Amino acid sequence: MADIRIIVDGIARREGNGWFAVPNTVLLTDGKHRVLVDPGNHPKLLELLEVRSIWPEEIGTVFLTHSHIDHSLNIKLFPDADIIDGQFIHRGMKMTPHDGIIPGTAIEVIPTPGHTHDHASLIVGTPEGKAAICGDLFWWESSQEQRTDHNSLIFLEDPFAVDIELLMSSRRTMLEIADRFIPGHGQPFIKR
């Protein structure tokens, strides 16, 4: 069983012609292993970790749900960590395929394409059931009502999706697997 802590609260809002976006950054602790999910782009991430007495060198793995820069910019703050995505473990200039498990943990990597082609989510066992750290599989603008009934989740609009049908299929799959969800932007929710 892993411990789950949200380090940065994710938000997304339109600003003029663009967006202001910071993802939920999540710390998973599974035994002695610390996995930081979507280190994001928050300029004070290291300070937010340090107030919790967590130091960069204690992060052995950084997991990226997808390659959008708002989710990945801060990987440079963890030069000694393995970087894991939906397919590979990146160590320095070497990349090797993984077997769908974060090494040294029981955390599962599940491909969830649709928002991007490379999108992946994590399944984490907790005492309350299975939790999904799911990046932008689900996300809301800060001004949106966060509806979490089944149909609202399946048909949630995503203006950045590369394949909406694939995205809806990935959403259905994850809703069958997990009980609790931490989206890319917005509040955690429980499946109804």
Task: Return the number of other C-beta atoms located less than 10 Å from residue 152's C-beta.
Answer: 13
pLDDT of residue 191: 86
**What confidence tens digit (pLDDT) does each residue in 133-171 have?**
999 999 999 999 999 999 999 999 999 999 999 999 999
Q: What's 116's DSSP letter?
A: S
**What confidence tens digit (pLDDT) does each residue in 23-76 have?**
999 999 998 999 999 999 999 999 999 999 999 999 999 999 999 999 999 999
* Residue in 19, 62, 61 with CA at minimum distance from that of residue 40: 62
Spatial distance between the Cα atoms of 148 and 153, rounded to a whole number of angstroms: 6
**What confidence tens digit (pLDDT) does each residue in 98-107 have?**
999 999 999 9
| Number of domains making up the chain | 1
E strands along 9-119, which residues? 11-15, 18-22, 25-30, 33-37, 61-63, 82-84, 88-91, 94-97, 108-111
Please state the pTM of the whole predicted model.
0.96
* pLDDT score of 192 more than 80: no
Q: What's 137's DSSP letter?
A: G
Spatial distance between the Cα atoms of 33 and 39, rounded to a whole number of angstroms: 16
Percent of the chain whose pLDDT exceeds 70 = 100
Q: Which residue has the tokens 């002695």?
A: 32
Helical segments of the chain, H only? 45-50, 69-72, 150-154, 164-177
Domain of 120 in residue numbering reads as 3-190
Query: Across-strand partners of 61?
Result: 35, 82
Distances (CA, A) of 63 to 35, 46, 104, 140, 155: 7, 16, 14, 21, 26
Q: What's 136's DSSP letter?
A: G
Spatial distance between the Cα atoms of 91 and 15, rounded to a whole number of angstroms: 36
Q: What is the CATH number of the domain that holds 143?
A: 3.60.15.10
Measured at the alpha carbon of residue 125, what is the angle toward residues 49 and 105, in degrees to the nearest 5? 65
Cβ atoms of residues 70 and 40 within 8 Å: yes
Spatial distance between the Cα atoms of 3 and 140, rounded to a whole number of angstroms: 25
Spatial distance between the Cα atoms of 137 and 121, rounded to a whole number of angstroms: 8
